[in-house]
Amino acid sequence: MGLKYYPMPNENMSASAVLIDHFQASVVDLFDVSSDIYYIEEENIIGSGSFVTSKVRITSALDVLTQTRLGDDFKRILFPDITHEVFVGKKYVFSDNTWIGWNLENIKTLTSSLTVRRCNNVLRWMSISGSSVYSEPCAIEYEIAGTDNNMSSDNLVTPNGAIKVYLQQNSKTSTITENRRFIIGNQNKWVAFRVAGGGIRNFLNTSTYDNNSSKLLELKMEIDYVNESLDDLVNGIADRYLYITSGSSSAVSAIVVNPNNGEILEGESQTFDVRYYSGSSIISGSFVFSIADNNVPQQYYDFSVLSDNTFKVDNTEMYLDYPLNILCSGSSGSRIFEISLLGRW
């Protein structure tokens, strides 16, 4: 039985090389004798979005300090080829998720394996030129630090909180700088964060003297405000309208709704005008207007589109549970405009 795994050694091979060959042969022969064999997609060129199919074993991951089993957000991947290249930051796709290489224990060992962490969100941002929208799967830490709300002297609660975000360090994510804003969540409740000063950790080299060997980027972000004029609240892109819009020769700085207070008293109506702006100048462009959600029952308002740039809302009855959200969608960007259906005074 044992001889099955032992290829005939070359007379020039060292004893160590012979043993490694024997070990590789035994791994290949026994690899499929398991119930945890899966075919997954593995990134073959970092940052390219190009993946190849690999046959692997997927097992539960253990905490390196306590050796206790981690939850389903962490898995250990093992490869049949003991020389297979793995590194922290490498991406994999399986079980309807993207996973990122998290931890290795491969130096001076005879296995090729790594612990991966599930990416639980996606960061989206504009390229420096404004010609492209970048996106990158990321793993956001579970806890929000510093969430003890501070009460000021006027009894107002000031937002406070910080998160850590992990993503692959590549040519796209290397464009992220301090003070860059991101919005995460969903259309019903976007949450804005800003990269803190000194909040970029891109220097944990896997090779001491190679400053390009770090492949896992850590961002520390602090809570910020959603900017309805500059953020794309449909696609979740912060500061979308600070940049040149793809297909447009003009720099769109904002989608402006007039009047902008978004409040209508009961029994009254208001017509709203929507325009693209570059600085203080209007840019031509049309919009399609629609109700963004079903939070406000129909009997409390009347909504009508008057033109490519105007719509009208009638407040037929006060409704304070939710605002009426109007989606203003155009070829050069979109935004959601909130309207409060107030009482008679």
Query: What is the pLDDT at residue 4?
Result: 57
Length of the chain: 345
121-136 pLDDT per residue, tens? 999 998 766 667 899 9
Query: What is the pLDDT at residue 247?
Result: 45
174-220 pLDDT per residue, tens? 999 888 999 999 988 999 999 998 899 999 898 899 998 999 999 99
pTM listed for this prediction:
0.66
205 strand-pairing partners: none
Confidence category of residue 1, pLDDT binned at 50, 70, 90: very low
How many CB atoms sit inside 10 A of residue 131's CB? 12
Comparing CA positions, the residue from 259, 274, 337, 270 lying closest to residue 301 is 270
Strands 263-264 and 189-201: unpaired
Instruction: Kindly state the tokens that stand for 158.
Output: 């000031």
Percent of the chain scoring above 70 in pLDDT: 84
